[in-house]
Amino acid sequence: MIKVTIYRDNNQIKSFELSGHAESGPYGYDLVCAGVSAVSFGAVNAVLKLTEVDLDIEQGAEGGYLRVTIPASVQPELMETVQLLFEGMIVSLETIERDYNQFITIQSK
């Protein structure tokens, strides 16, 4: 199962962590894993390209783990864009969870 944890402070995303594997299909054909990967990496890449914010990114060597932390030093005008992009990511992940909740769970802390 993929576990998504969103860490917030004052309702703002500070970091998020994805861990585990969906195992909803054979390796290379796991649509849930592919969807979660596309949504999360797409959001991270959008933040990097559109805001040039230097995110703190940790990845597992063989997949199955991603932790992204937004630096506290981000300027307020950029933080608004970062938050919007990551909130969009969460909406997309929640859509996947709604249809495939046996393979993905999302929680906020």
Q: Is 22 left (phi over 0), alpha (psi -120 to 50) or beta?
A: alpha
Q: How confident is the model at residue 101, as a pLDDT?
A: 95
- Known catalytic residues are 21, 33
Maximal C-alpha separation, the chain: 43
Q: In angstroms, what CA-CA distances link 67 with 5, 9, 74?
A: 9, 16, 18
Specify the pTM: 0.92
Which CATH number is 95's domain given? 3.30.70.1490
Tell me the C-alpha distance between 63 and 70, whole Å.
Answer: 21
Predicted confidence (pLDDT) per residue in 41-84, tens digit: 999 999 999 999 999 999 987 778 999 999 999 999 999 999 99
User: How many structural domains are present in the chain?
Assistant: 1
Q: Which domain holds residue 32?
A: 2-108
Instruction: Tell which residue, 17, 18, 16, 13, has the closest CA to residue 74.
Output: 13
